Amino acid sequence: MEHIVALSGGKDSTALALRLAEVEPRDYTYVITPTGDELPEMYAHWRRLETLLDMKLTVLGGRSLKGEIQRKGALPNWRMRFCTSSLKLEPFNKYLLKAWPCTVYVGIRADETQRKGNRVHGGIEQRYPLVEWGWGVVDVLDYLDSRGVVIPERTDCARCFYQTLSEWHSLYVNYPTIYADAVGDEERVGHTFRSAQRDKHPASLKELALEFDAGFTPVKRNMNNRAAMCSVCAR
């Protein structure tokens, strides 16, 4: 029986992995599904988790967000989230079927039990230890603080259509090469990551950069409260 921890590297899955190793020590397989578009801080976080867990992380996938955009000739959006389906869910579910029978540990908290799913397939058991422990978001954050673990500000893709203006601004300022590459994606595909109806600012990243250059600095929002964040990526 293989014991698989779904480890995105977000606060919930990180707390789950570290605490599970303390209270139920066994030979876990810690699985991550990077898209290849994560920022350097995220890769540094995964490396530190390998040290804390004393275990190499199992990396699934092989395809990248950049490659999928080029292959499909489209950008991911809320109607067509191939960034999640193709790069995260599909490789993870395939891995589970190969590992059958197995137990999967998922980082859903006690204060969000409405998000619990069913078994992926017969012989694949899903457990929700944070729910079993009664841990809510405060418990998760307190535990991470006690372990000295700081979660990166961005745990998902650098060019996510769910991003806020402040996140695009941060990418523009701190990673101009990645921002410019995202502009190139928009120009090649003919669509934008941002929706034109989302706010009064330009949907085009190229035009949005002109506002940043003119001095526009968006107000930074508390990301822990962002309901629209991609739940699979942010865990």
| Domain range list for the chain | 2-155, 165-225
Answer for the pair 30, 13: CB distance below 8 angstroms, yes or no: no
125 bridge partner residues = 103
Give the pLDDT confidence score for residue 228 in this predicted structure. 37
Q: How, if at all, do strands 28-32 and 2-6 pair?
A: parallel
| Alpha-carbon gap, residue 14 to 140, rounded angstroms | 9
As a whole number, mean pLDDT of residues 177-189 equals: 98
Token readout for 136 is 């809510």
Residue 222 — pLDDT band, cuts 50, 70, 90? low
pLDDT score recorded for residue 62:
83
Neighbours of 215 (CB within 10 A): 6
Q: What's at 60, amino acid-wise? A: L
Of the candidates 21, 31, 12, 18, the one whose C-alpha atom is nearest the C-alpha of residue 98 is 31
Which tokens go with 97? 């079927």
- pLDDT in the model for residue 122: 77
Q: How high does pLDDT run on average in the chain? A: 91
> pLDDT per residue over 31-60, tens digit each?
999 999 999 999 999 999 999 999 999 999
Q: Using one digit for the tens of pLDDT, what is the confidence trace for 81-133?
A: 999 999 999 999 999 999 999 999 999 999 997 666 555 567 899 999 999 99
Q: How far is CA 54 from CA 12, 18, 47, 109, in A?
A: 19, 11, 10, 25
Q: CA 89 from chain center: how many Å?
A: 12
Strands 124-127, 2-6: pairing kind: unpaired
Domain 2-155 classified CATH 3.40.630.10? no
**SS3 state of residue 58:** strand
DSSP 162-190: T--HHHHHHHHHH-HHHHHHHHHHHHHHT
Mean pLDDT of 125-151: 97
Confidence band for 229, pLDDT divided at 50, 70 and 90: very low
Write the CB contacts of 113 (distance below 8 Å, at least 6 apart in sequence): 128, 131
CA distance 108 to 235: 8
